[in-house]
A and B are shown apart, each in its own frame.
Chain A
Amino acid sequence: MSLTDEIQKVAKRYPESKSAILPALRLAQDEYGWLSREAIEEVGEALDLTPAYCMSVASFYDLFNFEPIGRHTIEVCTNVCCGLVNAQAVLESFERELDIAPGETTADGEITLRAVECLGGCSTPTIVAIDQRYRQSVTPEDVPAILEELRNV
């Protein structure tokens, strides 16, 4: 099924098709990895919205990428609850191992590292979302193994 068809199928579940813009943008991002100009135009065309409108909505939310990202994403919660229990050390460990700063992607295009706001896993700090799935109680010492695992996927 084409992206347009998929989007229009999802849109039918809503009382008004405009409501499907977040699922549509998510589908587009799943398809292309990020929201390129063309991806946004495709979403707009499918939902009968202007590309500017779609971009305006998409840019309001943190989960959309407007530039290519790595094959894997590592998102470290650095809000206070994790922060109190060493989140910064976890983040720095990733930075060191990957040799990139938060917000950047490794030169080989494999891994994008980010710091994110509270992920809602405060009782098992530090929470790290690896490809959008939570790892709990991550410590700086866990980092090399996580990266090793990702590189082998």
Chain B
Amino acid sequence: MTDLVRVTVDEREVHVPKGTGIVETALAAGIEIPVFCYEPRLGEGIGACRMCIVEIEGIPKLQTACTTTATDGMVVKTARTSKKASVGQHGTLEFILVNHPLDCPVCDKGGECPLQDLTFRYGPGNTRMTFEKLTLEKPIPISPAISLDRERCILCYRCTRFSEDVSEDGQLVARNRGAMSVITTFEDEPYSGPFTGNVTELCPVGALLPTQYRFEGRPWEIQNVPTVCGMCSVGCNVNATVREGKVKRILSRNHPEIDEGWICDKGRFGFTHLRSADRIVDPIKRVRMHGFEPVSWDDALDEAERLLRAAHGRVVVALSGSETVEQAYALAKLVRVGTGSHEAMLPEEVTHSLDAYGLPLSAIRDAQVVVVLGDVSVAERAPIVDLWIKAARRTGARVLTELDEKAVRAADRAVLIWSGPGGRGGATVAAHAERLGLAGKDGCGAFYLPETPNGRGAADAWAAASDEEPAETESVGLLIVSGDEAANDPSVRALAEKAESVIAISMFHGLAAGWADLVLPGTSYLERDGTYVNLEGRLQRLRRSAMPPAPDELAWLSQLASRFGVELAPHAPMVFAELSERIYGGLSFGEVGERAPLRGYVGAPAHVEAPPLPEPEAAREGLQLVCYKPLFSGPAVERVEELQFQRPPAEVELARADAQARGIANGATVTVSHNGTSMQLRARIAKDLRKGVVRIAREHAGDLRGTVEVSA
């Protein structure tokens, strides 16, 4: 129940819920109140820029619309109808432009700049400022990925508020006072963390810009392709800015249930892996004595056919979990129907047991209790989920890292999240949710954070291709390694050792080139049409933003399939249509949607009984080591210059209590040992870590496993 109030804005009457901001109220009346500092996603308005100044009847002083809320009978006059407000607004724009350089022709923001637009619509046509503008050193790299032009900065504080109040990293701040205020990081440290790039989109002028886009395109030369990020399981909605067939930039494309317009730096800056120098553009065949040589597609397909036939039904497919649903289905149909081989190596365990607890991610923000289990930082696995949890904490939710059953049962809205190993594809957290009675309870639910972007979609597509069960075979005739993540996986490599032959689909030289008999060029999610299923179980649409340098997987898979008498369309919509009949209730490709809704699976059972919980482990001596795959890792990240500084340092994270018990200070060098192996790492005290658990990025953990000891 919301109380509606009557507000008059510029003589137009409008009814809005009580407490609605005046900017939104005016919008409801069809009136724009221009803003710079106001951005509702950053929290309440702060009234800093003074652009939204309005006159409110009964209040002598002009008020900022962004800090005022609607009350019944309020009469608002914006600068359109109030002389006083108009003088104020003109003044604000004039003041902003006093120091802002008029270098729009060479500014990357030009043409898509709120300051430019609002000056055009509301501003003075000339300036009365005849003195020297404030001159400052510029541009300053605040990180390898972002540059700061302090002269262009209008000090709206959007960026610092994001850093303090949204990502809560507290790194981007204002320094000094008054006219001397500047945006900065501490000393010369780069602005780092999973979310820094968002400030480049928040900035309403050309002050904070991505270095990758510097002088790369003008607004009239570019197109924004609405697609979905394929870097993790969240599936943030993004726009890929394309110029002349090349991706130049990734922008957020606010899906309020998934990402609220925030994206992580891996998704934003990672796209340059597309033009990595070691990109494979031709098929490569292993040749005895000579090593490798590029071969024609005809030869490559002949070779692939030969290897598939030679395996005699003993083909194993190792999936990456980054294939589109259509690719995975096409591969499955070729191998399963074409060769009668049914064995797949999935990148991670997938279950349907969480479907009864499905919620949009945005529901996390509204929870009263959020329990995060699994011991891996949420930001490392599904970054945006971390922002939802932070938002929940800011609105008063309790965020726990131990399962406090009483708290969960007592809450009207409780959310469980599994982030880490041992989650059995969500079955563990589903079992907890079931036991705690969350099924069917409004606002309650559970999430599992997978390691791969489309593991669920790929697994479902694989399963849908055939009803046959894999046969028990001793040997592997042919291993098909689908994608770079699979090629990078040590267990896949181990299997490749045993396989008689290997075909790899890979984007980059050096991953599969040493051990695959045939390497076929792979594509990136930005080069594909198709669909992904995110961690909520939401089916989303990928749009091709850039042409791949070689035919995409669907194109050659359909050709190869025809050699085995398997009918397979070369285009995603047709493949999807075929698959959709089987598992998505006949939903058409076009219906997936620009901002996809969270649909239940057609025919999916309302409730899947979760397998029983494993016996709780007996208390052990020492500290339990959790190795995790860092967000900033993997084949794509390794190829992006601007992300190298974000790679995790060689450190071990400890809970404060464990550090104190061992006399370890934050930042100290410590020895981590296990069974005679030991290594030196820097200690970091992590607030979100349970006592008794330590965390090391996989790439820094060496041979450490299981239980370890940490000493100063």
Q: Which residues of A contact B (CB under 8 A)?
A: 37, 40, 45, 49-53, 55-56, 59-60
CA distance A37 to B188 in the complex (A): 11
A51-B187, A56-B160 known; 13 new pairs, CB 8 Å cut-off, are A45-B666, A50-B169, A50-B186, A52-B173, A52-B186, A53-B164, A53-B170, A53-B173, A55-B186, A55-B187, A56-B175, A59-B175, A60-B176
A67 to chain B minimum Cβ distance, whole angstroms, is: 13
B116 CB-CB contact with A under 8 Å: no
Cβ A50 vs Cβ B187 within 8 A: no
Q: 4 smallest A-B Cβ distances: which pairs?
A: A56-B173, A50-B170, A52-B186, A51-B186
Question: Can you show 9 pairs from A to B with CB atoms below 8 A apart?
Answer: A40-B186, A50-B186, A51-B187, A52-B173, A52-B186, A53-B170, A56-B174, A59-B175, A59-B177
Who on chain B is nearest to A4 by CB?
Answer: B665
CA distance A51 to B418 in the complex (A): 32
0/1 interface trace, chain B 159-187, chain A, CB 8 Å (1 if under): 01000100001111111110000001111
Query: Which residues of chain B are within 8 angstroms of A51 by Cβ–Cβ distance?
Result: 186-187
Who on chain B is nearest to A53 by CB?
Answer: B170
Cβ A59 vs Cβ B176 within 8 A: yes
CA distance A50 to B184 in the complex (A): 13
Query: Which residues of chain B are within 8 angstroms of A60 by Cβ–Cβ distance?
Result: 176-177
Who on chain B is nearest to A51 by CB?
Answer: B186
A148 to chain B minimum Cβ distance, whole angstroms, is: 36
A38 to chain B minimum Cβ distance, whole angstroms, is: 11
Residue in A40, A49, A50 whose Cβ sees the most chain B Cβ within 10 Å: A50
Query: Which residues of chain A are within 8 angstroms of B189 by Cβ–Cβ distance?
Result: 52
How big is chain B's contact interface, by range?
Answer: 10 to 19
Who on chain B is nearest to A62 by CB?
Answer: B177
CA distance A55 to B186 in the complex (A): 7
CA distance A60 to B175 in the complex (A): 7
A134 to chain B minimum Cβ distance, whole angstroms, is: 24
Query: Which residues of chain B are within 8 angstroms of A37 by Cβ–Cβ distance?
Result: 186-187
Cβ A52 vs Cβ B170 within 8 A: yes
Cβ B176 vs Cβ A50 within 8 A: no
Query: Which residues of chain B are within 8 angstroms of A45 by Cβ–Cβ distance?
Result: 666
Who on chain A is nearest to B177 by CB?
Answer: A60
Cβ B175 vs Cβ A50 within 8 A: no
**Contact among B171, B177, B666 with A50 in the assembled complex (CB-CB below 8 Å):** B171
Q: Knowing A55-B175, A59-B176, say if A49 contacts B666 (CB, 8 Å).
A: no
CA distance A60 to B160 in the complex (A): 15
Who on chain B is nearest to A56 by CB?
Answer: B173
Who on chain B is nearest to A61 by CB?
Answer: B177
0/1 interface trace, chain B 665-694, chain A, CB 8 Å (1 if under): 010000000000000000000000000000
- Chain B residues touching A, majority SS: loop
CA distance A37 to B174 in the complex (A): 17
- Chain A residues touching B, majority SS: helix
Who on chain B is nearest to A57 by CB?
Answer: B173
Residue in A37, A52, A53 whose Cβ sees the most chain B Cβ within 10 Å: A52
Cβ B176 vs Cβ A52 within 8 A: no
B589 to chain A minimum Cβ distance, whole angstroms, is: 47
CA distance A59 to B182 in the complex (A): 11
Q: Knowing A37-B187, A45-B666, A50-B186, say if A55 contacts B173 (CB, 8 Å).
A: yes
A39 to chain B minimum Cβ distance, whole angstroms, is: 12
A27 to chain B minimum Cβ distance, whole angstroms, is: 19
CA distance A49 to B175 in the complex (A): 16
Residue in B160, B164, B170, B176 whose Cβ sees the most chain A Cβ within 10 Å: B170
Q: Knowing A37-B187, A45-B666, say if A52 contacts B177 (CB, 8 Å).
A: no
CA distance A50 to B160 in the complex (A): 13
Who on chain A is nearest to B169 by CB?
Answer: A50
Who on chain A is nearest to B171 by CB?
Answer: A52
Cβ A49 vs Cβ B170 within 8 A: yes
Query: Which residues of chain A are within 8 angstroms of B184 by Cβ–Cβ distance?
Result: 52
CA distance A120 to B184 in the complex (A): 33
CA distance A60 to B314 in the complex (A): 70
B603 to chain A minimum Cβ distance, whole angstroms, is: 50
CA distance A45 to B687 in the complex (A): 13
A124 to chain B minimum Cβ distance, whole angstroms, is: 28
Query: Which residues of chain B are within 8 angstroms of A59 by Cβ–Cβ distance?
Result: 175-177
CA distance A55 to B187 in the complex (A): 9
Query: Which residues of chain B are within 8 angstroms of A53 by Cβ–Cβ distance?
Result: 164, 170, 173
CA distance A101 to B172 in the complex (A): 33
Residue in B173, B174, B177 whose Cβ sees the most chain A Cβ within 10 Å: B173
Query: Which residues of chain A are within 8 angstroms of B666 by Cβ–Cβ distance?
Result: 45
B153 to chain A minimum Cβ distance, whole angstroms, is: 15
Who on chain A is nearest to B178 by CB?
Answer: A60
Query: Which residues of chain A are within 8 angstroms of B174 by Cβ–Cβ distance?
Result: 56
Who on chain B is nearest to A48 by CB?
Answer: B687
Query: Which residues of chain A are within 8 angstroms of B170 by Cβ–Cβ distance?
Result: 49-50, 52-53
A44 to chain B minimum Cβ distance, whole angstroms, is: 9
Who on chain A is nearest to B183 by CB?
Answer: A56
CA distance A85 to B181 in the complex (A): 33
CA distance A56 to B164 in the complex (A): 12
CA distance A149 to B141 in the complex (A): 48
Q: Report B615-652 residues with CB < 8 Å from chain A CB.
A: none
A42 to chain B minimum Cβ distance, whole angstroms, is: 11
Who on chain A is nearest to B163 by CB?
Answer: A52
Query: Which residues of chain B are within 8 angstroms of A40 by Cβ–Cβ distance?
Result: 186
CA distance A45 to B666 in the complex (A): 9
CA distance A50 to B169 in the complex (A): 8
Query: Which residues of chain A are within 8 angstroms of B164 by Cβ–Cβ distance?
Result: 53
A149 to chain B minimum Cβ distance, whole angstroms, is: 33
CA distance A56 to B161 in the complex (A): 13
CA distance A125 to B189 in the complex (A): 45
Q: Report B29-54 residues with CB < 8 Å from chain A CB.
A: none
A60 to chain B minimum Cβ distance, whole angstroms, is: 5
Query: Which residues of chain A are within 8 angstroms of B176 by Cβ–Cβ distance?
Result: 59-60
CA distance A43 to B186 in the complex (A): 13
CA distance A10 to B248 in the complex (A): 52
CA distance A51 to B172 in the complex (A): 10
CA distance A56 to B183 in the complex (A): 9
B189 to chain A minimum Cβ distance, whole angstroms, is: 8
CA distance A52 to B188 in the complex (A): 10
CA distance A55 to B160 in the complex (A): 13
CA distance A105 to B170 in the complex (A): 33
A61 to chain B minimum Cβ distance, whole angstroms, is: 8
CA distance A51 to B187 in the complex (A): 9
Who on chain B is nearest to A58 by CB?
Answer: B175
CA distance A55 to B183 in the complex (A): 12
Query: Which residues of chain A are within 8 angstroms of B177 by Cβ–Cβ distance?
Result: 59-60
CA distance A45 to B174 in the complex (A): 20
Query: Which residues of chain B are within 8 angstroms of A50 by Cβ–Cβ distance?
Result: 169-171, 186
CA distance A118 to B672 in the complex (A): 57
CA distance A45 to B668 in the complex (A): 13
Query: Which residues of chain A are within 8 angstroms of B171 by Cβ–Cβ distance?
Result: 50, 52
CA distance A105 to B177 in the complex (A): 23
CA distance A60 to B177 in the complex (A): 5
Who on chain A is nearest to B173 by CB?
Answer: A56
CA distance A40 to B189 in the complex (A): 14
Query: Which residues of chain B are within 8 angstroms of A55 by Cβ–Cβ distance?
Result: 173, 175, 186-187
CA distance A128 to B186 in the complex (A): 33
CA distance A136 to B216 in the complex (A): 62
B116 to chain A minimum Cβ distance, whole angstroms, is: 29
A45 to chain B minimum Cβ distance, whole angstroms, is: 7
Query: Which residues of chain A are within 8 angstroms of B175 by Cβ–Cβ distance?
Result: 55-56, 59
